[in-house]
Structure 1
Amino acid sequence: MKPVWILVADSSRARIFSAENSAAELIEIETLSHPQARLHEQQLDSDLPGKANGTMGAGGHNYTDEVSPKEQEEINFSKTVATLLCDELNQNKFDKLFVIAAPSFLGDLRRAFSTRLSKHLVFSLDKNVVSLTPQEIRSHLPLSLSV
């Protein structure tokens, strides 16, 4: 039987754990870091928004991005995490995936997951527990990791 994998993440850090069975302890097998997500908005985008002149002498308007640079960094990191998980799934390293992630980042992850990876997702929880110990993280998972 393949081990189950547990992803614990927020916008700047992702930890991947493995467990052989429901009673086994969580073993951390990978840690990804994305320090850009910790930067302030001004550090990510130093330019001021562009301006457009109004018609007939009306005042100008600022152009704004639909996604802020900070949000874009979170999206980029979620794609990096999803790509890693897809690659590992393609190598048959796990069968079931459990995800606990900060609420806004969980949404980014779900959008980044491929259809195939989503089929292996058996549990998700919107909670930021990335800095907890493996034993504390385990307490947020179902008693049986064979869901």
Structure 2
Amino acid sequence: MKKSVWIVVANRAVARLFRTSQPTGPLEEMDSFIHPEGRMLVQELVSDRAGRGFERFGPGGHAEDPDTTATAHEMTSFATALSRCLRKARTDGEFHALALIAAPAFLGAMREQLDAGTRERVMLEVNKNLVHLDAVALRAQLPERLFSTIDA
């Protein structure tokens, strides 16, 4: 069985999945995932205004901040879904190594959501939003040699 490296290129709204089985070879796009809620503004995701708090002494009040914003929640939700997909692929033996290329905030969310076994397979992380690049341009952004040996 040949070694296979999967490359996940993502931001909070789109993820694309590539693979290669040659250390210096081209990338093959396998799948893409769209999370339209990742592009929405907070006011589009939340129907209610923030709750109101009142000062303990004297007149006045202020808007309460939620524990997490709706956009952060959606980003975590998308990262969780991708992580589950990667865990299943890892347990099915579909890849040997993984490269994560994501917008900085989303890369952090992915790190938090990956299980330990999948996290061990991550050989490269790039904190850039390169989701718009095609396979050839994306390959040019990666190290010349993705892995050193191929099993026949």
TM-score where L is the length of structure 1: 0.94
Amino acid at match of 2:16: R
Alpha-carbon contact 1:12-1:34 (below 8 Å) kept: yes
- Map residues 1-147 of structure 1 onto 2, 5 A cutoff: 1-146=2-147
Question: Gapped runs of 5+ residues in structure 1?
Answer: none
SS in 1 for 2:48: coil
The alignment-based identity, stated in percent, is: 30
In the aligned structure 2, how far is the partner of 1:24 from the partner of 1:52? 58
- TM-score, with length taken from structure 2: 0.91
Q: Which amino acid aligns with 1:102?
A: A
The answer (yes or no) to whether the contact 1:2–1:93 under 8 Å persists in 2 is no
Letter in 1 for 2:52: K
Structure 2 distance, partners of 1:128, 1:83, is 21
SS of aligned partner of 2:16: strand
1:42-62: CA deviations, max 9, x gaps?
100121111133335432232
Report the aligned-residue RMSD: 1.3
Q: Classify the secondary structure of the residue corresponding to 1:138.
A: helix
Amino acid at match of 1:99: L
Gaps of 5+ in 2: none
